Amino acid sequence: MALSPSRRPRSRFSIYVGVLAASAVLTGCGGGLLGQDDEGADTDAPIVLGLITPLSGSSSAIGPYMQNGAQLAVDEINADGGVDGRKLELVVEDEGCDPRTATAAANKLVTKGVDISVGGYCSGATLPTLPIFEKAGIPMIIPAANSTELVDQGLENVFLVNGTGTQQAESAVEFMTKQNATRVALVDDNTSYSTDIAKRTAELLEKGTGPELATHESVTAGESDYSANVNAVLQADPDFVYWTGYYQEGGLILRQLRQAGYTGALMVADGSVDQQLVEIAGAANGEGVFATMTQTPDTIPGAEAWIESYRDKFGSDPGPYSTQSYDAVRVAAEAVAQAGSTETEDVIKALEGIDGFELFSGPLTFTEEHTLSSGGFLILSVQDGKFQLADSLE
Amino acid sequence: MSQLIWNGLFVGSFYALVALGYSMVYGIIKLLNFAHGDIYMLGAFVGFGLLTMSGALATSAGFLGLLVVLLIAMLATGTAGLILERVAYRPLRSAPRLSVLITAVGASFALEYGMRLVAGPNPEVYPVRLEGTTLHVIGARITVEQIALVAIAVVLMVSLQWLVMGTGTGRAMRAIAQDPKASLYMGINVNAVIARTFFIGSALAGAAGVMAGAYYGKIDFLMGFLIGLKAFTAAVIGGIGNIKGAMLGGLVLGMLEAFGTAWLGGEWRDVFAFGFLIVFLTLRPTGLLGERVTERV
């Protein structure tokens, strides 16, 4: 509280507290943020990477996938001697898919002296962390969150390693057209990530000559009964339904659509690509469901060895965004190596200069908006209860 | 249209079952038990645990097996309600109402994240799914299972009504609702009756949890949060503290949501539902069936 800017005249007491707190920061964080500018590449201090990810709340299933993916990259790089002789260190904070929790987490990372942020899953929770990291001069390499809103502000320090909502929407519409869909219903869950994709898809459908937009419906996440929404969708008589939210509700909506007698095509966005989607929907209802997705370990040729080492280390299978988090750490390390320091401007320049660095999603070069030059979205479909590559859209 | 009404009634019967517990507890000790929605979640998980443990046995027994599971889960959540009351609320019986309210929120978080520790953050899928024949009744698609679930809800609500209006315990509950001190002087064991109220309300929520698990199929540790809020809304619409009001409020809320979505679109569904909560709180705080009670001094 005492450190937050306030327009009200402060009482003597709070000034006192403020001064005390500020001096504590100044003296206590020698290796932290304020000391960073003096640190060159020649120090032995570890390079601290901060990972904000949902470890609690509705998306808490994703957190461990991202944390493990990032940890794997950190361990591999450290085993190879680190970056310029400096070890990497990963600090993880919980975002709970909640903007307030995420803000607190970001502030915590800043005070812990993080050099680069490699986290961000829920777009709605990642958005408020942007100005915090920007002010602190911490470059962000966001592995999963991909709402276009994240880059709309044009912040210098923000880089997305996942394809954006726009790119996902383009792939979705391309595939709908390929499937000869005529009337498309969009369903989102009212979060930044989900409405972003739905809105961009709606725009493309309205502009394009392909399928037309039948209806655009929003639901509230966290409920069990979506019969009212399903009913509204069916009223519009679509032959293609695209769900852009997360898998927990996605499974229920697919199931309830089928139960209500819908027989047309179904597609989900990348937040819904999880084995649980099929389990919640029921095997029969899940079969044949399409998905727009970035590359996952399963769909990447030659990732078997990587999956094996992940399994050895953590005793479980990698999941969504394990690879992107792994890549985010590698990109961070590459940028520091190129820059020769962890100074903000050098790192940002190095990130902008990356040309063809090999990621799971293909060679990486950032666009001017700091997004991937190619979204790398594929179409998956559920075959025998598992997501399989259906169309690589090439 | 008939589909909308049926959808509303079906969801509404879940809201009503959960709202009953809210309303009963409020009626007796003027406590908004915000942990009530999490008791519903607990019921869903107890049912899930039982079905998973019994394996093929429950699946082959079909609907009957599910009924047995439902009863056991009701006993378990009822007991959980007893423990909750004993540990979290009884020590604060004479404390200001705000303290108890805060404790209720704390109890809610304790249940949610306690369950997360036990069952993990991932949603679970019920091993038994109610999926069956679809009937077409005057233009609405109705499944046999939906009818069965609504029937169970009605049976539970009717027995509750009988319990409250026709038994000694019920009379004691109503007496405490009117005046706890006088009831005490009249020789009613107030604490025991309050505990029983918690047991009954929690058992009903547990039943709703198992039914939701078996019908919708997905359960997770946060599933009680929204339905808790909705049940609270239903209780207020019907007249909080009034049992028939809670049932009516549940059905009305279900309808409001169904029609609100159809008329205004899905993004307005909750605005519509919670807007009604505000309208009722300002214009008719006693709800549809509540009577104005003179405030005791």
The domain total for chain B is 1
Closest CA to B73 of B44, B53, B52: B44
The 10s digit of each residue's pLDDT in B11-31 is: 999 999 999 988 888 888 888
Look at residues A271, A293, A315 and tell me which one is the last residue of a structural domain.
A293
Out of A99-108, A283-292, A347-356, A369-378, least confident range: A369-378
Report the residue of chain A nearest B254, measured CA to CA: A228
Same domain for A73 and A154, yes or no, is yes
> Which of chain A's residues have a Cβ under 8 Å away from the Cβ of B131?
259, 282
Question: Which candidate from A56, A235, A255 shows the least CB-CB separation from B217?
Answer: A255
Same domain for A25 and A158, yes or no, is yes
Planar angle of CA A283, A285, A289, nearest 5 degrees:
100
Instruction: Give the per-residue pLDDT at B28.
Output: 86
Determine the structural domain holding residue B34 and report its residue range: 2-283
Same domain for A255 and A327, yes or no, is no
The pLDDT confidence band at residue A13, using thresholds 50, 70 and 90, is: very low
Report the residue of chain A nearest B264, measured CA to CA: A232
The domain total for chain A is 2
How far is A144 from chain B, CA to nearest CA, in Å? 19
Q: What percentage of residues in chain B have a pLDDT greater than 90?
A: 38
Same domain for A154 and A181, yes or no, is no
How far is A18 from chain B, CA to nearest CA, in Å? 30
Question: Which candidate from A223, A227, A255 shows the least CB-CB separation from B7?
Answer: A227
pLDDT (average), residues A364-380: 84
> What are A's interface residues with B at a Cβ cutoff of 8 A?
55-58, 60-61, 63, 187, 190, 217-220, 222-225, 227-229, 231-232, 235, 248, 251-252, 255, 259-261, 276, 279-280, 282
The pLDDT confidence band at residue A43, using thresholds 50, 70 and 90, is: low
Instruction: Give the per-residue pLDDT at B106.
Output: 93
Instruction: Give the per-residue pLDDT at A1.
Output: 36
Q: What percentage of residues in chain A have a pLDDT greater than 70?
A: 88
How far is residue B287 from each of residues A63, B15, B157, B292, measured CA to CA in Å?
A: 43, 16, 19, 10
* β-bridge partners, A363: A358
Is the pLDDT confidence value at A389 over 50? yes
Same domain for A330 and A272, yes or no, is no
The CATH number given to whatever domain includes residue B83 is 1.10.3470
> Which of chain B's residues have a Cβ under 8 Å away from the Cβ of A258?
none
Same domain for A159 and A125, yes or no, is yes
Determine the structural domain holding residue A246 and report its residue range: 166-293
> Which of chain B's residues have a Cβ under 8 Å away from the Cβ of A220?
226, 269-270
Mean pLDDT of chain B: 87
Is the pLDDT confidence value at B175 over 80? yes
Look at residues A238, A266, A293 and tell me which one is the last residue of a structural domain.
A293
- Asked if the structure places residue B290 within a domain, the reply is no
Same domain for A22 and A159, yes or no, is yes
* Residue B109 touches chain A, beta carbons under 8 Å: no
Query: Which positions ≥6 away from B79 have C-beta within 8 Å?
Result: B199
- Asked if the structure places residue A388 within a domain, the reply is no
pLDDT (average), residues B179-186: 89
* Residue B274 touches chain A, beta carbons under 8 Å: no
Same domain for A333 and A369, yes or no, is yes
DSSP secondary structure of B195-249: HHHHHHHHHHHHHHHHHHHHHH-EE-TTHHHHHHHHHHHHHHHH-TT-HHHHHHH
Same domain for A127 and A198, yes or no, is no
- Asked if the structure places residue B292 within a domain, the reply is no
Task: Decide: helix, strand or coil at residue A389.
Answer: strand
- How many pairs of residues across A and B have Cβ atoms under 8 Å apart? 98
- Asked if the structure places residue A143 within a domain, the reply is yes
- In whole angstroms, what is the distance from residue B101 CA to residue B103 CA? 5
pLDDT (average), residues A190-205: 90
How far is B161 from chain A, CA to nearest CA, in Å? 27
Same domain for A84 and A97, yes or no, is yes
Same domain for A275 and A186, yes or no, is yes
How far is B208 from chain A, CA to nearest CA, in Å? 12
Instruction: Give the per-residue pLDDT at B58.
Output: 62
The 10s digit of each residue's pLDDT in B65-99 is: 888 889 999 999 999 999 999 999 999 988 888 89
| Angle between helix B2-29 and B144-166 (nearest 10) | 30
* Residue B161 touches chain A, beta carbons under 8 Å: no
The amino acid occupying position B166 is G
pLDDT (average), residues A181-191: 91
Return the residue in B253, B261, B268, B274 with the most chain A beta carbons within 10 A, the one to mutate for interface testing: B261
The 10s digit of each residue's pLDDT in B203-237 is: 999 999 999 998 888 898 888 998 999 999 999 99
Q: Let me know: does A60 contact A54? Beta carbons within 8 Å.
A: yes
Question: Which candidate from B121, B217, B270 shows the least CB-CB separation from A280?
Answer: B217
- Asked if the structure places residue B288 within a domain, the reply is no
Is the pLDDT confidence value at B107 over 80? yes
- Asked if the structure places residue B269 within a domain, the reply is yes
Is the pLDDT confidence value at A178 over 80? yes
Cβ of B227 and A224 within 8 Å?
yes
pLDDT (average), residues B106-115: 92
Out of A61-70, B182-191, B245-254, B285-294, least confident range: B285-294
Out of A89-93, A274-278, B190-194, least confident range: A274-278
Residues of B numbered 220-239 whose beta carbons fall under 8 angstroms of chain A's beta carbons: which are they? 220, 222-223, 225-227
Is the pLDDT confidence value at A322 over 50? yes
Instruction: Give the per-residue pLDDT at B3.
Output: 85
- Asked if the structure places residue B160 within a domain, the reply is yes
Instruction: Give the per-residue pLDDT at B61.
Output: 66
Report the first-to-last Cα separation within chain B, whole angstroms. Answer: 49
- In whole angstroms, what is the distance from residue B288 CA to residue B280 CA? 9
Same domain for A59 and A109, yes or no, is yes
Question: Which candidate from B3, B212, B266 shows the least CB-CB separation from A224?
Answer: B212
Cβ of A232 and B265 within 8 Å?
yes
The residue with greater pLDDT, A6 or A133, is: A133
- Asked if the structure places residue B147 within a domain, the reply is yes
Q: What is the pTM of this model?
A: 0.77
The CATH number given to whatever domain includes residue A27 is 3.40.50.2300
